[in-house]
């Protein structure tokens, strides 16, 4: 994208932010690639290495062998890391500090919005959070690090310390329902905001990808910041096909000039 064109789009998007009364930011794996976490669909992404068919809740529950395979995918896939938030996460957190953010709706499971400084009660995680594990029998929730310390040396599938039930990452597997209260809250804010900013999502995973569509259908302006085209481009007001970190940093600078 030519620099002039990029700057023009950033100025226009900043103007939308300045005038908006309620902004919802919707994020996907693309916001975290600059923190070193691979996304799903880019070259080198997780689905170029692993088969999504191996990642269903049915397989997870079917046998210890399939669970072990999934645990190894999670460990090798780069989703459990000590990654740090990047410029894009920090810009989103700064929008909250400036009083310009109603909430973040994220498909990510990496906890980086909270780590960047967004209030946990303003982050709606549609697909859960990889930093935690939950016992499928008694519901006990564990920080993932604690369990990995037990898992790594023996390479044995961890179970619940209290009831020896199956421990599952506290994330949504294929075939599982999204957390309904979170989805309801996210939809509520999407249908009432006047500006929706999508950052780093292919917008092909449903029902999450409905959120920007609900916003647009309810009258909000839609800005999409993503390296590659999305199926929602035709309804967007501004499309910026460029790096999320660079764009968000510039967008924040430009917005601050007029606040
Ligand atoms: P996706 O389908 O992998 O799409 C990511 C999009 O981001 C692609 O269109 C890329 O072109 C784009 N992209 C990648 N890097 C950048 C960048 N630096 N700047 C701008 N755009 C970029 O991921 P979605 O989030 O759309 O799909 C939803 C899945 C991915 C959810 O179920 C997530 O849980 C899952 N996921 C999450 C993480 C994470 O938590 N960090 C990592 C990998 C997958």
Examine the pLDDT at 47 and tell me if it is beyond 70: no
Neighbours of 104 (CB within 10 A): 30
pLDDT recorded at residue 149 = 75
Q: Where are the alpha helices (DSSP H) in the chain?
A: 3-19, 46-49, 57-62, 64-76, 87-97, 112-116, 144-154, 180-192, 210-217, 244-257
- Sign, CA torsion 190/196/200/204: positive
How many domains does the structure of the chain reveal?
Answer: 2
Nearest CA to ligand 1 atom 15: 30
What atom of ligand 1 comes closest to residue 244's alpha carbon? 19
Q: Rounded to whole angstroms, how far apart are CA atoms 84 and 189?
A: 27
Nearest CA to ligand 1 atom 7: 30
In order of 18, 94, 155, 215, the CA distances from 130 in angstroms are 34, 24, 19, 27
DSSP SS3 for 149: helix
What atom of ligand 1 comes closest to residue 37's alpha carbon? 41
CA of 14 to the centre of ligand 1 (A): 23
CA of 160 to the centre of ligand 1 (A): 31
Statement to judge: residues 123 and 156 lie in one domain: no
Domain that holds residue 149: 38-82+131-171
Share of the chain above pLDDT 90, in %: 66
Nearest CA to ligand 1 atom 36: 29
Statement to judge: residues 31 and 45 lie in one domain: no
Statement to judge: residues 114 and 187 lie in one domain: yes
- Of 34, 40, 175, 176, best ligand 1 pocket probe by most atoms within 8 Å of the beta carbon: 40
Token reading at 175: 């075939």
Residue 123 in contact with residue 116, Cβ under 8 Å?
Answer: no
Task: Give pLDDT tens digits for 143-179.
Answer: 887 777 776 667 677 789 899 999 888 889 888 999 9
Q: Tell me what the mean pLDDT of segment 231-257 comes to.
A: 98
What atom of ligand 1 comes closest to residue 230's alpha carbon? 9
DSSP SS3 for 9: helix
Statement to judge: residues 12 and 139 lie in one domain: no
Statement to judge: residues 92 and 167 lie in one domain: no
Examine the pLDDT at 76 and tell me if it is beyond 70: no
What atom of ligand 1 comes closest to residue 33's alpha carbon? 15
Statement to judge: residues 161 and 224 lie in one domain: no
Looking at residue 42, which CATH number applies to its domain? Answer: 3.30.1600.10
pLDDT recorded at residue 131 = 85
| Catalytic residue positions, numbered | 127
pTM (predicted TM-score): 0.93
For the chain, the average pLDDT equals 90
Looking at residue 31, which CATH number applies to its domain? Answer: 3.40.50.1220
Statement to judge: residues 119 and 135 lie in one domain: no
Statement to judge: residues 255 and 145 lie in one domain: no
Task: Report residue 231: phi and psi, to 5°.
Answer: -65, -15
Asked which of 116, 150, 171 is the last residue of a domain, the reply is: 171
Nearest CA to ligand 1 atom 13: 30
Statement to judge: residues 198 and 235 lie in one domain: yes
How many CA atoms lie within 13 Å of 122's alpha carbon, on the beta-carbon side? 22
Query: Where residue 54 falls among pLDDT bands split at 50, 70, 90?
Result: confident
Report the pocket of ligand 1 as residue ranges, CB < 6 Å: 28-30, 32-34, 37, 39-42, 45-46, 79, 107-110, 127, 200-202, 205, 226-228, 243-244
Task: Report residue 135: phi and psi, to 5°.
Answer: -80, 130
Statement to judge: residues 187 and 201 lie in one domain: yes
Query: Where residue 79 falls among pLDDT bands split at 50, 70, 90?
Result: low
Statement to judge: residues 32 and 160 lie in one domain: no
């Amino acid at each position: 994208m030519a620099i002039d064109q990029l700057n023009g789009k950033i100025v226009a998007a900043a103007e939308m932010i300045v005038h908006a009364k309620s902004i919802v930011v919707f994020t996907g794996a693309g916001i975290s690639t600059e923190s070193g976490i691979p996304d799903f669909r880019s070259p080198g992404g997780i689905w170029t290495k692993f088969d999504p068919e191996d990642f269903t809740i049915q397989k997870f529950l079917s046998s210890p062998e399939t669970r072990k395979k999934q645990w190894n995918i999670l460990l090798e896939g780069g989703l459990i890391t000590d990654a740090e938030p990047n410029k894009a996460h920090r810009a989103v957190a700064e929008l909250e500090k400036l009083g310009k953010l109603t909430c973040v709706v994220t498909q990510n499971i990496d906890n980086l919005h909270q780590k960047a400084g967004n209030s946990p009660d303003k982050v709606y995680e549609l697909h859960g959070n990889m930093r935690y594990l939950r016992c499928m029998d008694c519901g006990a929730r564990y920080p993932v690090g604690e369990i990995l310390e037990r898992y790594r040396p023996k390479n044995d599938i961890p179970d619940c310390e209290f009831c020896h039930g199956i421990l599952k990452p506290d994330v949504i597997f294929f075939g599982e329902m999204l957390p309904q209260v979170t989805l309801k809250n996210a939809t509520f804010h999407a249908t009432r905001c006047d500006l929706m900013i999508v950052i780093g999502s292919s917008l092909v995973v449903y029902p999450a990808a409905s959120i920007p569509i609900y916003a647009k259908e309810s009258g909000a302006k839609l800005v999409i910041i993503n390296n590659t085209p999305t199926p929602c481009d035709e309804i967007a007001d501004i499309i910026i096909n460029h790096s999320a970190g660079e764009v968000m940093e510039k967008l924040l600078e430009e917005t601050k000039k007029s606040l």
